[in-house]
């Protein structure tokens, strides 16, 4: 098990959504536009953005992190 794999259950608490980044995206991109989040972790930023009518597509090399995201919210295709 790698270091980051061991963080999976705690990732959202260690790396919470950056509210300033969400507000920046909300004010600089139009609603319904699709943004790509590379290195998305568990997708917590994507979930927050979706609640604010922004579509943020999460991508991460660690599939188990995005599996956690998929359990909370369907991934946009």
- Rounded to the nearest 10 degrees, what angle do helices 63-72 and 44-51 cross at? 30
Supply the pLDDT for residue 24: 93
Query: What residues in the chain have per-residue pLDDT under 50?
Result: 75-77
**What is the rounded (10 degree) CA torsion for 51, 54, 60, 65?**
10
DSSP string computed for 21-50:
HHHHHHHHS-TT-EEEEET-TTSHHHHHHH
Supply the pLDDT for residue 77: 45
Report how far apart, in Å, the C-alpha atoms of 3 and of each of 6, 8, 57, 72 are.
5, 9, 25, 24
Supply the pLDDT for residue 20: 94
């Amino acid at each position: 098990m790698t270091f980051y794999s061991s963080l999976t259950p705690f990732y959202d608490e260690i790396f919470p959504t950056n509210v300033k980044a969400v507000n920046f995206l909300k004010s600089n991109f139009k609603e319904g536009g699709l943004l790509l989040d590379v290195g998305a972790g568990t997708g917590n930023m994507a979930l927050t953005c979706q609640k604010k009518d922004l579509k943020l597509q999460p991508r991460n090399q660690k599939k188990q992190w995005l599996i956690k995201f998929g359990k909370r919210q369907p991934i946009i295709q």
